[in-house]
Amino acid sequence: SSTQNLYCSIRTGPGAWSREIVDTSTNNLYSTENSLCINAAGQPVIAYYLNGQSQLKIATRLGPDNWSKEVVTTNLGTTNFIYPQLDIDSAGNFHLVYNDRVTQVKIYAVKAAGGGWTFYNMGGTTTIQKLHYLRASAVGQPRIVTGDLFFDTAWEIKSPVAGASWVEGTSRLVAW
């Protein structure tokens, strides 16, 4: 059997870096689809998919060579294209969007600081879009873009006027 590691490089000073093992697995390939955020303590938090075990995980650095790991969910399929996207709002809540390749549904999940995960199927799609982007506002409002769909009730359209509708094939400046 072979051991495979997920690494994170940490800047330790001007021009100095160290490489830490985040997670170790035997014969279970890690996906190349990872998402990195920095929490309020200045530590990296990584969302990643473990293909061989079909696990979506979150790892949080607690200190040098010390990582906590949490399984968010399992059984998403044994293929890539899960595309986890993670963000952390100012209250420390985790926001995560990913593809469930088994059910062909995009999922938004949120974990309140100190609480458990809550999962939402993202309606409005008939086929799963592979890529998506997620950002949480300062007040924890998730903003998700996938393909040509926007999942957000808080978008503010700046042009031509606030509240204007989006015409197919056009673009508008939006404010976060």
Buried b (16+ CB within 10 A) or exposed e, 146-164: beeeebeeebeeeeeeeee
pLDDT per position as a tens digit, 89-147: 989 999 999 888 888 888 889 999 889 999 988 765 545 666 777 878 777 777 777 76
- Give 24's pLDDT tier (boundaries 50, 70, 90): confident
Which pLDDT score, from 0 to 100, does residue 161 have?
42
Q: Which residues pair with 20 in a beta bridge?
A: 8
Q: Whole-model pTM?
A: 0.78
What's the token pair of residue 91? Answer: 């209250």
